[in-house]
Amino acid sequence: MDLKQRWQTFRSWPWGVRWASYVTAALVLTLIATLLTGTVLVRRPFPLVDGEIELAGLKGNVQVIRDDNGIPQIYADTTSDLMLAQGFVHAQDRFFEMDVRRHITAGRLSELFGESTLETDKMVRTMGWRRVAERELPMLEPETRAALQSYADGVNQYLDNRSNSRIALEYTVLGLGGLDYTPEKWTPVDSLAWLKAMAWDLRGNMEDEIARAMLSVSHTESEVADLYPSYPYAEHEPIVTQGALVDGRYEPRATEPGSRDPARPGYTADQLDVLDETRKALGSVPELVGQGPGIGSNSWVVDGEHSATGEPLLANDPHLSTSIPGIWYQVGLHCRKISSDCPFNVSGFSFSGVPGVVIGHNDDIAWGFTNLGPDVTDLYLERVTGKQWEYDGELRPLQIRQETIKVRDGEDFELTIRETDHGPLVSDVSSELSTVGANAQIAGEDRTNHAVALRWTALDPAPTADAILGLNRASNWDEFRAAAASFSVPAQNLVYADREGHIGYQAPGRIPIRKSGNDGTRPAAGWLPENDWSGKDIPFDSLPKAFDPEEGFIVTANQAAVGESYGPHLTDDWDYGYRSQRIRELLEGEGDVSVSEMADIQVDDFNSFASVLVPRLLDIELPGGYRRDGQEELADWDYHQSADSAGAAYFNIVWRNVLELTFHDEMRESLHPDGGSRWWLVMTNLLDDPRNSWWDNKDTQHVERRDEILRDAMIEASDDIVRLLARNPADWEWGRLHRLDLRHQTLGESGIAPVEALFNRLGARIGGGGSIVNATNWDANEGFTVTSAPSMRMVVSMADFDDSRWINLTGASGHAFHRNYTDQRDLFVEGRMLPWRFSRKAVKESGRDTLLLRPGS
Write down the pLDDT at residue 4: 35
Name all domains of the chain by residue range, CATH numbers in brackets: 610-640+646-732 (1.10.1400)
Q: Give pLDDT tens digits for 766-785.
A: 999 999 999 999 999 999 99
Region label for 357, one of left (φ > 0), alpha (ψ between -120 and 50) or beta (otherwise): beta
Model pTM?
0.91
H-type helices in 75-117, by residue range? 79-105, 109-113
Report residue 647 CA to chain centroid gap: 30
Write down the pLDDT at residue 638: 98
- Known binding-site residues for Ca(2+) equal 209, 375, 378
Q: Give pLDDT tens digits for 378-402.
A: 989 999 999 999 999 999 999 999 9
Write down the pLDDT at residue 105: 95
Task: Find the largest Cα–Cα distance for the chain.
Answer: 82
Write down the pLDDT at residue 258: 39
Helix (H) or strand (E) holding 452: strand 448-456
3-state secondary structure of 788: strand
Write down the pLDDT at residue 287: 53
Cα–Cα dist 426/126, whole Å: 7
Write down the pLDDT at residue 259: 36
Write down the pLDDT at residue 5: 38
Write down the pLDDT at residue 204: 58
Q: If you write DSSP's letter for every residue of 359-407 in order, what string do you get?
A: EEEESSEEEEEEE-----EEEEEEEEETTEEEETTEEEEPEEEEEEE--
Write down the pLDDT at residue 281: 54
* Regions of the chain short of the pLDDT cut 70: 1-38, 203-206, 247, 253-295, 430-448
Write down the pLDDT at residue 209: 73
Catalytic residue among 150, 216, 297, 750: 297
Q: Is the dihedral of CA 724, 729, 734, 736 positive or negative?
A: negative
Write down the pLDDT at residue 295: 63
Torsion, Cα of 666, 671, 673, 679 (10° steps): -90
Active site residue 297: yes
- Known binding-site residues equal 209, 375, 378
Write down the pLDDT at residue 754: 86
